[in-house]
């Protein structure tokens, strides 16, 4: 059996670029789908696939997944960047899809079978006032969802009392002090109003100076969060030791990670509780499965990144991992629009607190290429990443 063609498809049914890899084989009708979505650099990922990985892989045996992963990861000698890793993920996932279809089994069966029937999910809530956030939480609770991420005023929300200097450059301004203050007020309010049963989560999005993140975590500790996410930037990983020593708030980390060295110390020193990597960003399910097994040894649970800039193929792959690993924690879930479900028939389905797969071989999801073509990629400079402090200083988003 040989790989005969590799197609890269960019589609934006929900106004976010999704990058899908389709690997065709010499077996009539046998193909696989993978997610290579790096929404903000989709053309660069496509160029890696079309110009480098496609010529490298055409004619090779699609059944040799591990060998292909290892060869592709080093095929340009320099390695581990997000463009290469996402391209590699598209290949890797498509090969697992083919493997499952060949076996006539869902992919989780190839990894040891189910540890659970559905993946527990958390949903996002947000608003400009605590009352608004409470309303959204209650709406989800009525549907049976008991894990809610709560944000006030978006990432870094909270109105600043400080005016910017004259001539300040345009950008997405936020005030870390106002953000931290309003976030503590939000969780005090929510815990009082909603009682002890609902599980609350929060994403700092690395928007605080390290010591201010430590203080925020201590202030949030009494409200018993399920986890606090990205309290620190990846570059400030050493601060996790300080944070860990100061409070018993469960910590989630990793959506920006590309490389095993970024997570190794945090896991083996038990400095975090949930690994949050973006599966396509680390190179696909082959490295994600190894990471999950590594985490299992140290009592760290998985909480794969699951935002809108993961394709339904990538979400399906996340759910296969969620069902197969014993140390699954929770899955971030945003649901799919009718447009997305039409482009990707076979999407996983949420019922109450859980998401379920359809039991079909491979990932169990398809791509309707005619529908996908109705939503061409949108190639603009992203505005949301142009973040600044009140005095105009550029900071990470
Ligand atoms: Mg996040």
Q: Which CATH number characterizes residue 44's domain?
A: 3.30.390.10
Q: What is the pLDDT of residues 348-395, one digit of tens each?
A: 999 999 999 999 999 999 999 999 999 999 999 999 999 999 999 999
| Residue 158: per-residue pLDDT | 80
What's the pTM value of the predicted model, to 2 decimals? 0.97
On whether both 177 and 244 belong to a single domain, the answer is yes
CA 205 – ligand 1 centroid, Å: 6
The answer to whether 354 touches 118, Cβ cutoff 8 Å, is yes
CA 158 – ligand 1 centroid, Å: 18
* Alpha carbons 368 and 384: distance in angstroms, whole number: 30
Count: domains in the chain: 2
Q: List, in sequence order, every residue forming a beta bridge with 35; answer none if it has no partner.
A: 20
Backbone angles phi, psi at 169, to 5 degrees: -70, 155
On whether both 41 and 163 belong to a single domain, the answer is no
pLDDT over 90 (residue 154): no
- 387 is a domain residue: no
- 132 is a domain residue: yes
Q: What is the pLDDT of residues 90-142, one digit of tens each?
A: 999 999 999 999 999 999 999 999 999 999 999 999 999 999 999 999 999 99
* Alpha carbons 84 and 283: distance in angstroms, whole number: 8
Rg (the chain; Cα; Å): 21
* Alpha carbons 243 and 26: distance in angstroms, whole number: 54
On whether both 161 and 232 belong to a single domain, the answer is yes
The CATH number covering residue 318 comes to 3.20.20.120
210-220 and 176-194 helices cross at what angle (nearest 10)?
A: 10
User: 74: domain range?
Assistant: 3-106
CA 230 – ligand 1 centroid, Å: 6
On whether both 85 and 188 belong to a single domain, the answer is no
On whether both 55 and 126 belong to a single domain, the answer is no
- 123 is a domain residue: yes
Q: Which of 96, 97, 61, 57 is nearest to 73 (CA)?
A: 57
| Residue 157: per-residue pLDDT | 86
Least confident of 114-128, 153-167, 237-251, 252-266: 153-167
On whether both 238 and 296 belong to a single domain, the answer is yes
CA 64 – ligand 1 centroid, Å: 33
On whether both 98 and 124 belong to a single domain, the answer is no
* Alpha carbons 397 and 395: distance in angstroms, whole number: 6
Other Cβ atoms within 10 Å of 305 Cβ, number: 23
pLDDT over 90 (residue 159): no
Q: What is the pLDDT of residues 18-45, one digit of tens each?
A: 999 999 999 999 999 999 999 999 999 9
On whether both 88 and 174 belong to a single domain, the answer is no
On whether both 273 and 346 belong to a single domain, the answer is yes
Other Cβ atoms within 10 Å of 263 Cβ, number: 23
Q: Which of 117, 120, 115 is nearest to 146 (CA)?
A: 120
- 186 is a domain residue: yes
Q: What is the pLDDT of residues 172-181, one digit of tens each?
A: 999 999 999 9
CA 144 – ligand 1 centroid, Å: 23
- 373 is a domain residue: no
The angle formed by the CA atoms of residues 1, 73 and 35, to the nearest 5 degrees, is: 70
- Annotated active-site positions, please? 155, 205
The answer to whether 313 touches 344, Cβ cutoff 8 Å, is yes
On whether both 140 and 87 belong to a single domain, the answer is no
| Residue 75: per-residue pLDDT | 92
Please, is 392 exposed, middle or buried when counting C-beta atoms within 10 Å of its C-beta (0-12, 13-18, 19+)?
Answer: middle
Tokens 């970024």: give the residue.
262
CA 68 – ligand 1 centroid, Å: 30
Backbone angles phi, psi at 83, to 5 degrees: -65, -50
CA 174 – ligand 1 centroid, Å: 17
CA 100 – ligand 1 centroid, Å: 31
């Amino acid at each position: 059996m040989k790989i005969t063609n590799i197609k890269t498809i960019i589609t934006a049914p929900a106004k976010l670029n999704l990058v899908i890899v389709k690997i065709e084989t010499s077996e009539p009708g046998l193909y696989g789908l993978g997610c290579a979505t790096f929404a903000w650099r989709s053309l660069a990922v496509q160029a890696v696939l079309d110009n480098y990985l496609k010529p490298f892989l055409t004619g090779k045996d699609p059944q040799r997944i591990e060998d292909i992963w290892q060869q592709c990861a080093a095929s340009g000698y320099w390695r581990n960047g997000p463009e290469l890793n996402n391209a590699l993920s598209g290949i890797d996932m498509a090969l697992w899809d083919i493997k499952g279809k060949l076996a006539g089994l869902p992919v989780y069966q190839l990894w040891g079978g189910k540890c659970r029937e559905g993946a527990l999910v958390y949903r996002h809530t947000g608003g400009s006032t605590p009352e608004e956030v409470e309303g959204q939480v209650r709406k989800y609770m009525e549907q049976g969802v008991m894990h809610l991420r709560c944000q006030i005023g978006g990432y870094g929300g909270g109105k600043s009392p400080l005016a910017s200097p004259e001539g300040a450059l345009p950008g997405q301004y936020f005030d870390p002090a106002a953000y931290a203050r309003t976030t503590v007020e939000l969780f005090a309010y929510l815990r009082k109003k909603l009682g002890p049963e609902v599980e609350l989560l929060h994403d700092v999005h690395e928007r605080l100076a390290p010591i201010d993140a430590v203080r925020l975590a201590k202030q949030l500790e009494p409200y018993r969060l399920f986890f606090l996410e990205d309290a620190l930037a990846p570059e400030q990983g050493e601060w996790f030791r300080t944070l860990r020593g100061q409070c018993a708030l469960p910590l989630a980390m990793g959506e920006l990670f590309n490389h095993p060295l970024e997570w190794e110390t945090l896991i083996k020193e038990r400095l975090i509780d949930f690994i949050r990597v973006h599966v396509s960003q680390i190179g696909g399910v082959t490295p994600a499965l190894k990471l999950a097994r590594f985490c299992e040894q140290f009592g760290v649970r998985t909480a794969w990144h699951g935002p809108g800039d993961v394709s339904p193929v990538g979400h399906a792959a996340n759910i296969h991992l969620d069902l197969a690993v014993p140390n699954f924690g929770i899955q971030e879930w945003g649901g799919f629009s009718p447009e997305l479900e039409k482009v990707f028939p076979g999407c996983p389905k949420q019922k109450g607190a859980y998401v379920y797969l359809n039991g079909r071989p491979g990932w169990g999801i398809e791509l309707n290429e005619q529908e996908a073509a109705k939503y061409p990629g949108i190639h603009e400079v992203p505005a949301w990443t142009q973040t600044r402090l009140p005095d105009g200083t550029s900071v990470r988003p």
